[in-house]
Amino acid sequence: MNEKKIPVPYITARVGEEADVFLSLRATFGSAGIARLGYWDETRDDRDVRGVLWGRVSQSIGEEGLPAGDPRWGLVHPARQRETMLGLRCQVCVGDARRPEGILFLESAQNGMPATGAPVRTAQPPVCLRHARLSAKRCDHLADHGHIAFLAQSAPLYGVIGTPYAYTHSGLEALESDDTPVPYGAPALRWFLASQLVRTLRAFTVVDLDDLVLPLAPAV
């Protein structure tokens, strides 16, 4: 009897995908003549739509043009996270996650339900209805603490998560980092290497996945 193959989320990092070396970074100057973090061989694709530098990580791509190789559960590939978050595409299948009633996002329930009127910021790309349950089970921080499902009518870009840098007398130095999002427009982003794109959820409704997913065919 053949066991049904469970899909690996598109954003999940794969074995063999490696980050670029620290020595590829340097201090450079932007178009306004202001010093900032950059690459020695920087290309247009190294920065996002707001001009923030992103970490380079190689990609293992199979014959079908999709990520290949053993999954590294719990790790997210920066470029694929950015792609799905920017395009509002499902983090599992890369399909369009936008629906007339809103865009579905899953967040950890670790910190409880957000206060009324409080902004919800997330680095988790949206999910389609077909793969919502799979995402809730496969994502470590959702599986460990449970999830809250948000159906958002608006989710503008907020900023990025990543690693701050400083230029010292001995050269570039990576500083201690955490998962606190840095908003676009912040001066600190000139010396920042992004790894995750963050959106703010607005005009959202908290929903039950059972009400959204059960009437549909199971994920394959």
Output the 3-class SS for 78-141. HHHHHHHHHHCECCCCCCECEECCEEEEEEECCCCCCCCCCCEEECCCCECHHHHHHHHHHCHH
* Cα 163–chain centre separation: 14
Secondary-structure breakdown of the chain: helix, strand, coil percentages, each rounded to the nearest 5: 20, 40, 45
Q: What is the pLDDT of residue 214?
A: 47
- The 10 Å Cβ neighbour count of residue 28 is 13
Query: What is the structure's pLDDT at 123?
Result: 96
Tokens at residue 60, please?
Answer: 């293992």
Contacts of 182 (CB under 8 A, 6+ apart): 159, 160, 161, 162, 188, 189, 192
Q: How far apart are the first and last CA of the chain?
A: 17
The ranges assigned to domains in the chain are 12-213
Predicted pLDDT at 52: 98
Length of the chain: 220
Distance CA 134, CA 33 (A): 47
Long-range contacts at 164-169 (CB < 8 A, ≥ 24 apart): 164/188, 164/191, 164/192, 165/25, 165/37, 165/191, 165/192, 165/193, 166/191, 167/27, 167/35, 167/191
pLDDT at 216: 44
pTM listed for this prediction: 0.90
The pLDDT profile of the chain, 220 residues, written as one tens digit per residue, is: 444 577 899 999 999 999 998 889 999 998 778 899 999 999 999 999 999 999 999 999 998 889 999 999 889 999 999 999 999 999 999 999 999 999 999 999 887 888 777 889 999 999 999 999 888 887 777 888 889 999 999 999 999 999 999 998 888 999 998 889 999 999 999 999 999 999 999 889 999 988 885 444 444 4
CA-CA-CA-CA dihedral for 53, 58, 63, 65, to nearest 10? -10
